Structure 1
Amino acid sequence: MMKAGSTTLITPRLQILTEDQKETLFLSALGVLEGTGVRVDNDEGLELLSGAGARVSPQRLVHIPSYLVEDALASAPRSIALYSRDGEPAALLEDGRVYFSSQVDSTYFFDPFNRTRRLSIREDARLGAVLCDALPNIDLVSFSSIYSDVPGNIAIRIGHKETVKNCTKPLMHGTGDFASLKAIAEMAAMVAGGWEALARRPYYVHYAEPFSPFMHTNEGVAKLLFCVEHGIPVIYTSMTLAGSSAPVTAAGNLVACMAESLSGLVIAQLKRRGAPFIFGGVPTIMDMKSMLVSYGAPELSLWAAALTEMAHYLHLPMFSTAGCTDAVAFDQQAAAESSISCLMAALSGANLVHDVGFTEAANSASLELIVATDEFISMVNCIMKGIEITPETLALDVMAQVGPGGSYLTEAHTLHNFRKNWFPRLANRDNYERWMTAGGLSLGDKANQRVLQILEEHKPKPLRPELVTELDALEKSWRRETS
């Protein structure tokens, strides 16, 4: 007989903050918004805040009373559904669900065919899209579109076009300018079947951000309001650098990050109550020796986990970071930083976790790191399943049958259950001799082979030919803008 409740499956969780600490951080953020205030350089955003009761002082400085934040939290949705390119459910951003997003390109790209680092080009968007379309543990796809062979002002549009043609998964990215957001939204509406269809089943999540410390730029707010108006889920988070654009201490950094994201939430909800808004941020350090932003710092994983707890406390979907590294290439350091950060993100319960594949603190991207991290995530998922306790898993009758000194190898129970254990695709479990016989390949070598295999064999579901024709016509119009 089983005791009541003993069959419950508990998902492992990480706790960073006490309830009192969460309240202190939240109240501190409210105090910053009302006392220090934020600068708003967008006229409509300023009018929305002023009309709702915020106090506006010279230089467009806005002091936001706590009741506006509380009201915005009450109206913001607690969960946001994302869909595939074809309108199928793909992700539900809510408490307890974790999804990982790749980052397939950057300024530099590690070419998987000759394994050299070079400037990114348009073709890299297609390669990353095909790869991520095939990987089971990559849920969304993101890209930087800093292509050396495409005009800069239309590069992000090209990246979206190439990715949506070669991948059915949801897309997440920002734009360098407001015009590109409008162009991409038009393209997304075409793919989804119209503006109403895009709002009802969004496959695209837009990333916008304030400028730390405490500044909402004209274009940043314009992007936020455009997404709200058209029902496009929007991430509005900052990257607070300890000792540079935010206080050097963890608590101060978290308060600053929260204040910036929450003030964006207020603007969004004043524009349209119930607008799909994603809270979060990238609270990390600036290495005072190199003066570079660190993507592999333990502080980033720890502080992001604490920020995730605050998102749960506020009942908001959370945007976070993992699967990236400060290592300049995919090596042992990259594997360690990527896997640790993915585990921390999952244990904290972050909802949309981006940057899988970034190396060199986001200056480069590696498809091999994406493939390896896909395996790391599968290991993390195994841990996150917890331990199931049922009559079948307790196996008391099997123990009685095998008895002391027996073997479970030939038991039907073993045959029926051993496949539930995690098994690696890339990681090695052979001894030295077998490993050498198989070629003595490192994890990096195996990851490269896996990348090449997927790129050769995987055939993503194509877009309708008539839609491809429409997208090609769009690109021609973009290029005429640049001529």
Structure 2
Amino acid sequence: MTMMEVLERTGADILNKEAREVFEKAGCWVDGNRVRIPSALSEWAVRTAPSRVTVCDRNGKRALRVETTNAFYGPGQGNTYVIDPMTGERRKPIKADVANAGVVCDGLKNVDFAMSNGLPTDVNPNVAEVHAFEALVTNTKKPIIQSIQGIEQAQAILDIATSISGSLKEFQKNPFVVLLIETEGTLVHSDETLAKVIFAAQNGVPYIYSTKLIAGETSPATPAGAIVVALADILVGVLLGQLVRQGTPVIGGGFFTIKDNENDILPYGAPEVSLMGTGMANALRFLGIPSFGFAGATDSKDSDAQMGLEAAFSILHAGMSGTSLIHGCGQLEYGLSASLALLVMGDEVMGMTRRIIKGVEVNEERMARGVINEVQPGGHYLGEEHTLKYFRSEFWWPSVMNRSRISDWEANGAKTLGQKVKEKTQTLLTTHQPEKLSKDVLSKIKLIIDRVDAR
């Protein structure tokens, strides 16, 4: 396969000394920082890495079977600004915003996992990810994908997770946190990035090895070439994890975009984002590696038609492509701003997408030949037991989209989708009560937070 040939022929720059030693011991060719990986070793890593990563909720209940046949949705992360859900103000995120993201994720039916919608600016910036994780884990029981900036932060997050699970062994058996390890790609893997992989593998923590590429700038301009580079980068992270601890749960993926030179931005709503993401997901499915993709974001600055179009199109595309974990929903302005309202709207589209993916189930009872004969031509099916049985399960029903008659719509205030989404977001924040952690666990978490703040 082409990406394996790239690693064998061209290789990658490995800037972590321990990682180079692991690769060399396994039979890779090391010349300074450049490491060339035999294709046989890449093939071994693909066979050894689990084809399914099971992620639990905070209570240890199995929630996500992350494999090549399932698709799960969640929000984006790491935004510079947030749109205040009550006032509409665009401002820097604080810890309370991350807590709000946890509450909304917890209350939405089709959102499967939570992520931080921005790094809080009202805490110590050196440990902002730890504070973000605390805000999420205390406000949702859903699985969490958590980015990390260093080994100390990773250890603190793992300490919090094990204080909830009871021990590292129990957490490994029923993990509810997946570490997000990001590399900027183009066959260069930093010292810190690879140290995170080694940490995750040594501790048996599921991790995502994710690359970010700009077609024509940090990767070839062609979608095929960009996908090859991305897969080569991902295989480096997969191989290292398996060499450190065979069977380490790993998910591969990333984010592709292009450079809009006219506006000097990296668009999130461009069709190429979905196109290349689909190509990567398909290739990873062929390899048997669960995939991490992107959908539900927009380049729009407000709740308008462009926002709905770009977000809905990408959510549908990613789901139908079979991407395993799909993040990114709720990001405006090419990823600069987080919007809980867009996440709520995205939840509706996720439900629609799941109904489309479900397709038409065919069996003897569903084909209803006996019912058709019983009703006869010109009859109606409203009173049939068959209709009563399948009326709810076979149809999708909206929660914020409007299907009422115009007179009823006007009588209820003639509210637009944007208004209804805003109201639902605010209602979730004021009324939804996530399941709380025990006082004992909260005390342990506070001690960990106090310790990292003191450093």
TM band (smaller chain): over 0.9
Distance 2:34 2:365 in 1: 63
Contact 2:117 2:338 in 1 (8 A): no
Shift of 1:104: 6.3
Give 2:60's match in structure 1, choosing from 79, 83, 87. 87
| 1:142 match: secondary structure | coil
Once the two structures are superposed, the pairs formed by residues 171-182 of structure 1 within 5 Å of their partners are 171-182=144-155
Deviation at 1:157, TM superposition (A): 0.7
Does the CA contact (< 8 Å) of 1:105 and 1:364 recur in 2? Answer: no
* Partner Cα separation in structure 2 for residue 85 and residue 398 of structure 1: 45
Distance, in Å, in 1 between the alignment partners of 2:362 and 2:52 is 30
Residue pair 2:81, 2:118 contacting (<8 A) in 1 also? no
Match of 2:76 among 86, 103, 111: 103
Q: Equivalents in 2 of 1:44, 1:148: separation in Å?
A: 33
Name whichever of 142-151 and 437-446 sits farther off: 142-151
- Which of the residues 206, 209, 213 maps onto 1:240? 213
TM-score by length of 2: 0.96
Does residue 227 (structure 1) correspond to residue 203 (structure 2)? The answer is no
CA contact (8 A) 1:104 1:367 kept: no
Q: Distance in 2 between matches of 1:209 and 1:149?
A: 24
2:417 aligned with 1:443, yes or no?
yes
* CA RMSD after TM alignment: 1.5
Q: Specify which of 344, 354, 371 is matched with residue 344 of structure 2.
A: 371
Deviation at 1:430? 2.0
Contact kept? 2:300, 2:334, Cα under 8 Å: yes
C-alpha deviation, 1:31, in angstroms: 1.8
1-structure distance, mates of 2:228, 2:263:
25
**CA offset at residue 390 of structure 1?**
2.6
Answer whether contact 2:75 2:117 (CA < 8 A) is retained.
no
- In the TM superposition, what whole-angstrom CA distance separates every residue of 1:273-325 from its partner, at most 9, and x where no partner exists? 11111112212222232232121111111111111111111011111111111
- CA-to-aligned-CA distance 1:106-135 (integer Å, 9 cap, x gap): 221111111222211110111111111111
* Counterpart Cα distance in 1 of 2:327 and 2:124: 26
- Given candidates 270, 274, 278, the residue that maps to 1:301 is 274
Give CA-to-partner distance per residue, 1:200-222, whole Å, 9 cap, x none.
Answer: 11111001122321111000000
Three-state SS of the structure 2 residue aligned to 1:329 is coil
3-state DSSP class of the match of 2:160? helix
1:462 aligns to 2:436 (yes or no)? yes
CA–CA distance in structure 2, aligned partners of residues 115 and 61 of structure 1 = 49
CA–CA distance in 1 between the matches of 2:123 and 2:297?
Answer: 26
Identity %: 33
Q: d(CA) in 2 for partners of 1:192 and 1:219? A: 27
The CA deviation at 1:414 is 2.5
Aligned to 1:138: 111
User: Does 1:50 find its partner at 2:32?
Assistant: no
Counterpart residue type for residue 40 of structure 2: Y
Partner of 1:11: none
Distance 1:228 1:192 in 2: 19
- Give the conservation status (yes or no) of the 8 Å contact 1:72–1:266: yes
Q: Runs of 5+ in structure 2 lacking a partner?
A: none
The aligned counterpart of 1:474 is 448
- Which residue identity lines up with residue 380 of structure 1 in the other structure? T
Q: SS at the partner of 1:80?
A: strand
1:151 maps to what in 2?
Answer: 124
Counterpart Cα distance in 2 of 1:171 and 1:117: 25
Paired residue secondary structure (2:82): strand
Moved more, 223-232 or 104-113: 104-113
Question: Could you state the TM-score of these two structures normalised by the residue count of structure 1?
Answer: 0.91
Distance 2:411 2:117 in 1: 40
Q: Is contact 1:105-1:366 (8 Å) kept?
A: no
Once the two structures are superposed, residues 71-110 of structure 1 have per-residue CA deviations (whole angstroms, 9 ceiling, x without a partner) of 1112111111101111110111112111112236622111
Among 273, 284, 290, which residue is 2:263 paired with?
A: 290
Provide the C-alpha distance between the structure 2 equivalents of 1:456 and 1:64, rounded to a whole number of angstroms.
54
List runs of 5+ in structure 1 lacking aligned partners: 1-26
- 1:183 and 2:162 correspond: no
For residues 66-465 of structure 1, the aligned pairs below 5 Å read: 66-103=39-76, 106-420=79-393, 421-465=395-439
Shift of 1:332: 1.6
Q: Deviations over 1:156-182 (max 9, x none)?
A: 111101111110011002112332112
Query: What does the per-residue CA deviation read over 1:344-402, in whole Å, with 9 as the maximum and x for residues that have no partner?
Result: 11111111111121111221111111111111111011111111223332223333333
Contact 1:320–1:350 (Cα < 8 Å) also in 2: yes
Distance 1:284 1:230, change over 3 A: same
Deviations 1:30-52 (A, max 9, x none): 12112221111101100011111
Distance 1:414 1:266 in 2: 52
In 2, Cα distance between equivalents of 1:460 and 1:177: 29
Which deviates further from its counterpart, 237-246 or 428-437? 428-437
Cα distance in 1 for partners of 2:389, 2:208 equals 44
CA distance in structure 1 between the aligned counterparts of 2:264 and 2:185, rounded to whole angstroms: 17
CA displacement at 1:262 relative to structure 2: 0.6
Structure 2 CA distance, aligned partners of 1:82 and 1:90? 6
- In structure 2, what residue type is equivalent to 1:294? P
Query: 2 CA distance for matches of 1:37 and 1:219?
Result: 19
Question: Which residue identity is paired with 1:284?
Answer: T
Contact 2:98–2:120 (CA under 8 A) maintained in structure 1:
no
What is the identity, as a one-letter code, of the residue corresponding to 2:41? L
1:106·1:145 contact (CA, 8 Å) conserved in 2? Answer: yes
3-state DSSP of counterpart to 2:255: coil
Measured in 2, the distance between the counterparts of 1:392 and 1:211 equals 52
Secondary structure of the 2:183 match is coil
Deviation at 1:418, TM superposition (A): 1.7
The alpha carbon displacement at 1:69 in A equals 0.3
Q: Which letter maps to 1:236?
A: Y
2:212 counterpart SS class: coil
